[in-house]
A and B are shown apart, each in its own frame.
Chain A
Amino acid sequence: MLDPTEFVQQERRLFIDTNVFMDTDTRRAGGLKRLFERCQDDIARNSNPIVVPTKVVDELTKQSRTNPAGLTDGKAAAVRKATNSLTFLESVAPLGLVRKDLGDNSNPYADDLFVEIFTRVGGKYEMCLLTHDITLLLRIRLLAAKTNRRLVAGGLSKEGQIEVESDQVLFEKGARKLERMQRQIRQSIDVAKSEREAASLEPLLDDFQHTLGVSPAARQPAPSHTPSPATVARPEGTPCAFSSPAKFRGPDHVLGTTTIPREGDTVRFGSATSAASFTLGRLLGEGGEGQVYEVAGQPNRVAKIFDAEHRTAHRQAKLVLLTANGLARPGIAFPSSVITTMAGDFVGYAMPRAEGKEFQSTLMRPKRFRETYPNWSKADLVDVCISFLERVVYLHSLNVLLGDINPKNLMVEAKKTVWIIDADSWQLEGYPCPVGTAMFTAPTVKGDYADNLRTMEEELFAVATMLFMVLITGQFPYSRAGTDGDIPRLIKEGKFAFQFHGKSDQDQPGGKWKYMWSHLPFKVKSLFWHTFHRDGDRYTRRPTAGEWLQVFREYKAFFGSADDFDPMSNDVYPSRFKAFRPDTPIRDCPQCHGKNAIVGEWDDDQQSYFEPELCFDCSRQNRHRQQPRPPQNTAMCKSCGRSALKSSMTYGHCAECAAKGAQLDPAQLCIDCRRPFITFDHADWFKGKGLAMPKSHVTATKQQCPPTAPSTKKPRTQPIKPSTQPQKSLLARLFGWFWN
Chain B
Amino acid sequence: MALRISADDLVENPTPRVPVSLCIDTSGSMMGDKIRELVEGVNQFYATIDADDDAHDAAEVSVVEFNSRASLLQDYASVERLTPISTLDPRGLTFLGEGVNLALDTLEKRKSDYSGSGVLYYQPWLVLMTDGQPNGDARELERAVQRVTELVAEKKLTVFPIGIGADADMSVLARFSPNRPPLRLRGLNFKEFFEWLSKSVSRVSQSTPGDTVKLDLEGLAGWAEL
Contact = CB atoms under 8 A, between A and B. Distances in A.
Contact of A509 (B111, B118, B205, B208): B118
B211 interface: yes
B121 interface: yes
B119 interface: yes
A485 B4 contact: no
A366 B12 contact: yes
A365 B210 contact: no
B50 to A, nearest CB: 14
Given A365-B57, A404-B207, A481 B14 contact: no
A250 B180 CA distance: 31
A511 B121 contact: no
B88 to A, nearest CB: 32
Nearest to B207: A435
A288 interface: yes
A483 B118 contact: yes
Given A360-B53, A436-B207, A448-B210, A485 B114 contact: yes
Given A480-B118, A481-B115, A288 B206 contact: yes
Interface in B103-126: 111, 114-122
Given A364-B14, A484-B111, A510-B11, A479 B209 contact: no
A479 B114 contact: no
Interface string A433-457: 0111111000000011110000000
A300 B26 CA distance: 54
A365 B13 CA distance: 6
A509 B10 CA distance: 11
Contacts of B12: 366-367, 511-512
A243 interface: no
Chain B CB count within 10 A is highest, among A288, A361, A509, A510, for A510
Contact of B115 (A404, A409, A484): A484
B14 A488 contact: no
Contacts of B222: none
A733 interface: no
Interface string A539-568: 000000000000000000000000000000
A403 B117 CA distance: 31
Interface in B74-128: 111, 114-122
Binding site of A, secondary structure by majority: helix, strand, loop or mixed?
loop
A539 to B, nearest CB: 21
Interface in A488-518: 488, 490, 497, 507-513
A481 B206 contact: no
B1 to A, nearest CB: 8
A361 B52 CA distance: 10
B216 to A, nearest CB: 10
B118 A481 contact: yes
B210 A447 contact: yes
A435 B208 contact: yes
A448 B13 CA distance: 29
B15 A474 contact: yes
A476 interface: yes
A439 B210 CA distance: 13
A437 B204 CA distance: 10
Given A365-B57, A449-B209, A485 B121 contact: yes
Contact of A481 (B57, B116, B208): B116
A482 interface: yes
Interface residues of B, number: 33
A476 B16 contact: yes
A40 B205 CA distance: 41
A403 to B, nearest CB: 10
A186 interface: no
A406 B115 contact: no
A481 B57 CA distance: 20
A716 interface: no
Given A404-B207, A511-B11, A624-B4, A361 B118 contact: no
A158 to B, nearest CB: 32
Given A482-B115, A482-B116, A509-B118, A439 B207 contact: no
Interface string A355-397: 0001011001111100000000000000000000000000000
Contact of A437 (B10, B117, B207): B207
Contacts of A367: 12-13
Contacts of A473: 14
Contact of A483 (B115, B203, B205): B115
A475 interface: yes
A435 B14 CA distance: 23
B53 A510 contact: no
A487 interface: yes
Interface centre among B119, B122, B203 (most CB of A within 10 A): B119
A62 interface: no
Contacts of B53: 358, 360-361
Interface in B1-38: 1, 4, 7-8, 10-16
B16 A439 contact: yes
Contacts of B4: 624
Given A406-B207, A436-B207, A510 B116 contact: yes
A360 B209 contact: no
B119 A438 contact: no
A364 B53 CA distance: 12
B209 A435 contact: yes
B115 A485 contact: yes
A510 B14 contact: no
Nearest to B156: A484
Contacts of B140: none
B54 interface: yes
A484 B114 CA distance: 8
B206 A408 contact: yes
Contacts of B208: 435-438
Q: Which of B14, B119, B156 has the most CB of A within 10 A?
A: B14
A487 B14 CA distance: 13
Nearest to B117: A510
Interface in A204-259: none
B82 to A, nearest CB: 16
A368 B80 CA distance: 13
A480 B12 CA distance: 14
10 contacts: A360-B53, A360-B54, A367-B12, A436-B207, A439-B16, A485-B16, A485-B114, A488-B211, A510-B116, A624-B1
Given A365-B14, A472-B14, 7 more contacts: A360-B54, A404-B207, A438-B208, A449-B209, A509-B118, A510-B119, A513-B14
Nearest 8 interchain pairs by C-beta: A509-B118, A511-B11, A510-B117, A474-B14, A510-B11, A435-B207, A448-B210, A481-B118
